[in-house]
Homo-oligomer: A and B are copies of this chain.
C-alpha cells in the first residue's frame, strides 16, 4: 500500500458523485466497494462538508466545501505562470480584461484571463475553451502569422467545417492581408457584439508563433476615448517582450 486507502477510496466516491447525485448502493456498485464501507466514508465526507445528503434516504452529492477549497487551487505552472505577470500588468494599465490563447492545430485554446476591474459589465470567462482561430481576435493574430501555404491549408480545412454560416474565404484572406507588419489585430466589434479587442502574437522557445496576448472589453468603455493607440502599443510591446523571454529560455 503506497498511498492511504481511505483517501483513495474517498476520492473514488467523490469522482463518482461528480457526475450527479447517487445513493449508497449505486455508489458502492460504481466504486466497487462494500455498502458499509461507502456508508462510513460518506459520513466522514459529510462531516467535512465534502458531500451533502440530498434528502434523508435520497442520495448524496458533492458538497460546497469542495467548491470553497477548489477556489483556492493554484494555477498550474508553466506557460501560464510565465505569461501571467504580463497580462496582469496589461489589465492594470488599461482597465480591460487581458489574457492569452495558444495555438492547438487549427484552434486557439484560451489559457488565461485577468479582469480585476470593479465595473459590473464584464466579459464572460472563456478560459479552458477552444475556438476556430479566425473567430477570435487572438486566434486571428496567430493566423495572420501563418505562411501562405499554411494559411491556404487552414482556409481549405475551415471551408469544410460545419460552422453554420459558410466561411467567406476571400474575405478572410483579405482581412489577414491587412494585418500590419507588427502583427497587431485591432477589433472594433468585428468578432463579438459589443466588444473591442487588441491582440498580438508571441513566439515560443523554438521561434514559432505559439500564442497571442490580447486586451478586450465592452465597447462602451474600452478602450477609453483617445486611448486606443496607447493600448495597441502596450499589447504590441508586451508580446515582443514575452517572445524575447520565451525564446531565451
B61 near A66 with CB under 8 A, answer no
Whole-angstrom distance between the alpha carbons of A1 and B68 in the complex?
26
The residues of B that contact A77 with a CB separation of less than 8 Å are 55
A224 within 8 A of B: no
Q: How large is the interface on A (under 10, 10 to 19, 20 to 34, 35 or more residues)?
A: 35 or more
How many copies make up the complex?
2
Whole-angstrom distance between the alpha carbons of A63 and B63 in the complex?
17
Q: Given A7-B6, A7-B10, A194-B120, A15–B69 Cβ distance below 8 Å?
A: yes
Whole-angstrom distance between the alpha carbons of A72 and B14 in the complex?
10
The residues of B that contact A123 with a CB separation of less than 8 Å are 120-122
Expressed in whole angstroms, the minimum distance between the Cβ of A124 and any Cβ of chain B is: 5
A64 near B69 with CB under 8 A, answer no
A195 within 8 A of B: yes
Could you give, for residues 29-61 of chain A, a 1 whenever the CB lies within 8 Å of some chain B CB and a 0 otherwise? Answer: 000000000001101110110101011000001
Expressed in whole angstroms, the minimum distance between the Cβ of A100 and any Cβ of chain B is: 17
Interface residues of A (CB under 8 A from B): 3-4, 6-8, 10-11, 14-15, 17-21, 40-41, 43-45, 47-48, 50, 52, 54-55, 61-74, 76-77, 119-124, 192-195, 218, 220-221
Enumerate 18 A-B pairs (CB-CB under 8 Å) in ascending A order: A3-B43, A3-B44, A7-B7, A8-B48, A11-B65, A21-B74, A61-B72, A67-B70, A69-B70, A70-B71, A119-B193, A120-B195, A121-B121, A121-B122, A121-B194, A122-B122, A194-B218, A218-B218
